[in-house]
Structure 1
Amino acid sequence: MKLSPRMQFLVRNGLKGFLWLTVLLAAYFLFREVVITHKPDAWVERFYARPMIIYLIYCFSEFFFGLIPPELFMIWAINKGDTWHYLFNLSLFAGISYLMGYINFLIGGFFYKNETFTNLKRRLLKDSASQVKKYGIFLIIVAALTPLPWSGVSLLVGSAGYPSKRFLKYALFRLLRFAVYGYIVYQTHQI
């Protein structure tokens, strides 16, 4: 069975995203074993006691290309309180991620309408805009579900003139990612 070019794109980039997830998980478990287990109280006191700092760092990270994987914030939330507290934080993190993706999409849309950027795009990114329009749905879904930089992809899709309603519709896959990854974190970190 031969896959269409769009499905090949989705599968290829989806596999790359899951490979990165595996690398991130390995790095986390290594960090956990080497650093956190030797001085757990120092880490707990420093970060767990200041939730506003955690929320601000998360917002900053989600706006600037997902510098810190959301799973680390999920782990913080599971260790911070009971199941309801974790579900509240998970929902908050998912909503913030969705919102920050949309804000970056709007910024990209501003660049799309900006005459200077349009001229620059014509010279430097001739085929990119047409590729993003062609594969936009798949690009959004792959970035929403995998560790690809969600904010960066949202910015790129917005700068290609992708329709806002379609972006918002397919960006809902981001919430699915948080539900699945949140469940995995919950199952692996239950006491």
Structure 2
Amino acid sequence: MQKHKKSKLRLLHQYYKYTGFYRFIWENTKKALLPILLFIAVLLFINYRVMSINDMLLYITNNLSDTLIFTVFLISESFLGLLPPDIFIAWTKNSESPLLYLTFLAFLSFSGGVFSYYFGRTLLLIPKINNYLEGRMTKHIQNMQKWGGLLIAVGALLPLPFAMACLAAGMIRFSERYFFLFASLRFLRFVIYGYAIYSALS
């Protein structure tokens, strides 16, 4: 039984290697590193030249409503994930209930992915829009067809476009059951990043 399991894992490894999955992860991680490094550099510049990060986050907390911040985050997570979730995770540290806010943030991020998934399924009913997006998202759709749930899991955990993976999953009618299973890893990302960011800001 153990030998059969190892053989199956070896076959999966060969499949992902042959189809370029590992190369895809590496290339996209490298692309994501530059914006992340620039973001960190800007934060460090602000922290040492303008005002401390904690003071800045406190200013945001005191001058912007929680509802506005949560709304902006939900919109971002539902449409291509234009804003880094890390900014919002850092913001929760200075909130009234950091862990509660962080949990709600994770739920909104997950909900944004769910919205993208069902939006993708809905687009199938509108031929013109579906054809347009299929042309624009050919690579994403092809990758989803090759790697399925693993691509959703990677998008949920790593600094890769989670919303795009969810949209592509919806457009190929990826199984709802397995979509929710893999997309739920988004909560784990917020636990890990939350711990790291809270520790850094302590």
Could you list the per-position Cα deviations for residues 131-170 of structure 1 after superposition, in whole angstroms to 9, with x for gaps in the alignment? Answer: 5233111211111111112112211110112121111111
Q: Is 1:57 matched up with 2:72?
A: yes
Does structure 1 retain, via aligned residues, the 8 Å contact 2:151–2:165? Answer: yes
What RMSD, in angstroms, separates the aligned Cα atoms of the two structures?
A: 3.0
Q: CA deviation at 1:55?
A: 1.4
Gaps of 5+ in 2: 1-9
Could you list the per-position Cα deviations for residues 3-39 of structure 1 after superposition, in whole angstroms to 9, with x for gaps in the alignment? Answer: 3232564433333454345434422321122224333
Distance 1:63 1:126 in 2: 20
Identity %: 21
Does structure 1 retain, via aligned residues, the 8 Å contact 2:140–2:164? Answer: no
Counterpart of 1:35 in structure 2 is 46
Q: CA deviation at 1:189?
A: 1.6
Moved more, 110-119 or 121-130: 121-130
Matches for 1:39-118 after TM superposition, within 5 Å: 39-40=50-51, 43-44=56-57, 46-49=59-62, 50=64, 51-78=66-93, 80-81=94-95, 85-117=97-129
TM-score (norm 1): 0.81
Q: CA deviation at 1:87?
A: 1.3
Supply the AA of the counterpart residue of 1:47: I
Change (3 A) 1:60 1:128: closer
Does structure 2 retain, via aligned residues, the 8 Å contact 1:6–1:138? Answer: no
Matches for 1:1-191 after TM superposition, within 5 Å: 3-6=13-16, 9-40=20-51, 43-44=56-57, 46-49=59-62, 50=64, 51-78=66-93, 80-81=94-95, 85-117=97-129, 129=141, 131-190=143-202
Matched position secondary structure for 1:4: helix
Aligned length: 187
Change (3 A) 1:120 1:22: closer
Change (3 A) 1:34 1:124: closer
Distance 2:82 2:26 in 1: 20
TM-score (norm 2): 0.77
Q: CA deviation at 1:117?
A: 4.8
Distance 1:140 1:95 in 2: 16
Moved more, 150-159 or 42-51: 42-51
